[in-house]
Amino acid sequence: MKVVDIFKHRSEAVSKYQEELMQKVSPSVREYWQGIRHKANNRAFFTWLKEVNDQVVNEPSIEPIEKRTEQEQTESVEVKPAAPAIEMKPEAEQLYHELQAQLGEVMHTGDWIMVDQQRINQFGVVTEDEQWIHTDPERAEQESPFKTTIAHGFLTLALLPRLTDSVDPESNLFPTAKMVVNIGLNSVRFPYPVKSGNQVRAVSTLTKVTPIKKGLEIEREIKVQIEGVRRPGAVVTSVIQLHF
């Protein structure tokens, strides 16, 4: 139904109620109201309304974009230029493709090293964290649920460069890089304590490689395994950058 038809229908309904009302009012009021209706140019109003309705109906519709030609779609959509890709040095680009093929794989398994009481005591002195659970074997045997002293959680983290061979020039995992920078750890958990006398090693799994302006950024999941224990001593997400 067009807009003009809706207004006509409503106007007819209003006129019907007005006629019924006029039969109930006094003759003087009825005569006055009929004079007002006679002066109102209702035909002129409906003529204008019909012109507006016809103009809206006859306006050209916008075609769906899938029906437009390829040229029209190109003209109507603003195409933003793509961000320039990071230019990598040949050494970095070659290593990037090599590491992309190794995502999700174990990239390094370190040697076992001993975490003895002397190492724990030295770390306690340096960090001034000499709580008895770390440094007092006799009390730990009596009161600790582990029945022995345990290594500081941060001692386990501090051993990561050694455990991952990051500080061994003869076992460099990225020999083509000029410099390896430790950016930090995205997550850290200590599922099980490392007890005094335990042997530990690190297993590194490659999880992400991202080109950066200076080279590559690498994320690894590192699990610190405890010899003879199912649960790891630490699980961390390590982030390093390789500069070429």
- Secondary structure of residue 121 in the 3-state scheme: helix
CB atoms within 10 A of CB 193: 22
3-state helix, strand, coil in the chain (%, to 5): 45, 25, 35
Q: What's the confidence (pLDDT) of residue 221?
A: 98
For 175, phi and psi rounded to 5 degrees?
A: -65, -20
d(CA 5, CA 194): 86
159, 200 Cβ separation under 8 angstroms: yes
**148 phi and psi, to 5 degrees?**
-165, 170
The pairing of strands 106-109 and 113-115 is unpaired
For position 2, what pLDDT does the model report? Answer: 57
Which residues lie below 8 Å from residue 242, measured CB to CB, with a gap of 6+? 92, 95, 174, 177, 179, 180, 215, 216, 217, 218
Asked whether the beta carbons of 3 and 53 are under 8 A apart, the reply is yes
Sign of the Cα pseudo-torsion (191, 197, 198, 201, in order): positive
The beta strands (E) that lie in 81-233 are given as 106-109, 113-115, 179-189, 198-211, 215-226
pLDDT string in tens for the chain (244-residue length): 555 465 555 556 556 656 666 666 666 666 655 655 554 445 554 455 456 455 544 555 445 545 555 555 555 445 444 445 788 899 999 999 999 999 999 999 999 999 999 999 999 999 999 999 999 999 999 999 999 999 999 999 999 999 999 888 888 889 999 999 999 999 999 999 999 999 999 999 999 999 999 899 999 999 999 999 999 999 999 999 999 9
Domains and CATH numbers, the chain: 1-80 (no CATH), 90-243 (3.10.129.10)
- pTM reported for the whole predicted model: 0.64
The pLDDT score that the predictor gives to residue 11 is 56
